[in-house]
């Protein structure tokens, strides 16, 4: 059944909105929490434990994360498999970005299912004394590590490039110059998030770069005026 132009436009707006709020916001939080891995096992497990102990966390996850992701994912698959584009015919960079948005989205369906099934919905992972060690064991497998790298890059690109569609559908970037700026910002954001995400993965393996090391209170020396 073909949708009317107004219905298709409304669905595209809702799809772009949920991709940014709350799904995009959740992705940023997820990357931020995972970045604690570069601080070591205790820092990551403490951060993950704090989130798990939030009041009404199951309710928050269901309504604020999983349902929006399911809606965005289902509608995204519909868009990717029914509404056409012709990058080869037009040759414009934006059409290629649109095609990559579809490809990355379809790949993310498989990645999200695997990631959540093997971590959040895994009884073994949830009952483990250290989620850090669970992720370390996962990522120690070269095949899974590469799969996760592709997942991180796809998620980063999908969000960054998705900001262009969000700005268009919601009338936030109407001029050509504004659209170019949004597109450039989205690609920079995708690059930064990819680096942050991959660095977090390396952190689980003890190889991450910690650009802002935290100083332990015991290591802080207080200078006393006139003291020896």
Task: Return the C-alpha torsion angle 184, 74, 119, 32, nearest 10.
Answer: 30
155-179 pLDDT per residue, tens:
999 999 999 989 988 999 888 899 8
Which of 77, 67, 65 has its CA nearest to residue 28?
65
pLDDT range class, residue 225, cuts 50, 70, 90 = low
Task: Please check whether residue 227 lies inside any domain of the structure.
Answer: no
Record the tokens describing residue 13, joined without a space.
């707006």
Residue 203 lies in a domain: yes
Band of residue 90 on the pLDDT scale cut at 50, 70, 90: very low
Average pLDDT on 35-47 reads 96
**Percent of the chain clearing pLDDT 90 (strictly above):** 66
- Establish if 119 belongs to a structural domain: yes
**Residue 171 backbone class (left: φ over 0; alpha: ψ -120 to 50; beta: rest):** left
* 89: pLDDT strictly greater than 80: no
Alpha carbon distance, N-terminus to C-terminus of the chain: 84
Mean pLDDT of the chain: 88
Query: Which CATH number belongs to the domain containing residue 21 in this structure?
Result: 1.20.1300.10
Residues with Cβ within 8 Å of 98's Cβ and at least 6 positions away in sequence, in order, are: 85, 87
> Which of 39, 20, 50 has its CA nearest to residue 199?
39
60 located within any domain:
yes
As a whole number of angstroms, the longest Cα–Cα distance in the chain is 84
* Mean pLDDT confidence for 57-62: 92
For residue 50, being part of any structural domain is answered with yes
Segment among 70-84, 108-122, 134-148 with least mean pLDDT: 70-84
Q: Is 215 part of a structural domain of the chain?
A: no
Do the domain assignments include residue 214? no
Domain that holds residue 52: 5-209
d(Cα 98, Cα 85) in Å, to the nearest integer?
Answer: 8
* Chain Cα centroid distance, residue 24: 7
Separation of alpha carbons 158 and 48, rounded Å: 25
Query: Is residue 12 assigned to a domain?
Result: yes
Distance CA 181, CA 29 (A): 24
Output the pLDDT for position 72. Answer: 94
Task: Give pTM, 2 decimals.
Answer: 0.86
Overall domain count for the chain: 1
């Amino acid at each position: 059944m073909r949708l009317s132009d107004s219905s298709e436009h409304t669905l595209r707006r809702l799809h772009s909105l949920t991709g940014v709020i709350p799904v995009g916001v959740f992705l940023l939080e997820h990357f931020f929490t995972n970045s604690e891995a570069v601080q070591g096992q205790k820092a990551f497990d403490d951060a993950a434990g704090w989130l798990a102990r939030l009041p009404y966390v199951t309710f928050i996850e269901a309504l604020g994360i999983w349902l929006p992701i399911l809606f965005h994912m289902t509608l995204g698959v519909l868009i990717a498999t029914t509404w056409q584009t012709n990058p080869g015919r037009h040759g414009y960079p934006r059409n290629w970005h649109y095609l990559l948005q579809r490809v990355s989205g379809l790949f993310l369906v498989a990645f999200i299912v695997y990631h959540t099934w093997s971590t959040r919905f895994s009884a073994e992972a949830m009952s483990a004394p250290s989620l850090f060690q669970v992720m370390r064991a996962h990522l120690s497998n070269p095949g899974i590590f590469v799969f996760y790298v592709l997942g991180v890059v796809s998620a980063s690109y999908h969000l960054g490039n998705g900001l262009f569609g969000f700005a268009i559908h919601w009338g936030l970037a109407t001029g050509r110059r504004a659209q170019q700026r949004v597109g450039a910002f989205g690609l920079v954001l995708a690059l930064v998030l990819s680096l942050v995400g991959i660095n977090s993965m390396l952190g689980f393996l003890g190889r991450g770069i910690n650009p802002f090391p935290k100083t332990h209170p015991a290591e802080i020396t207080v200078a006393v005026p006139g003291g020896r």
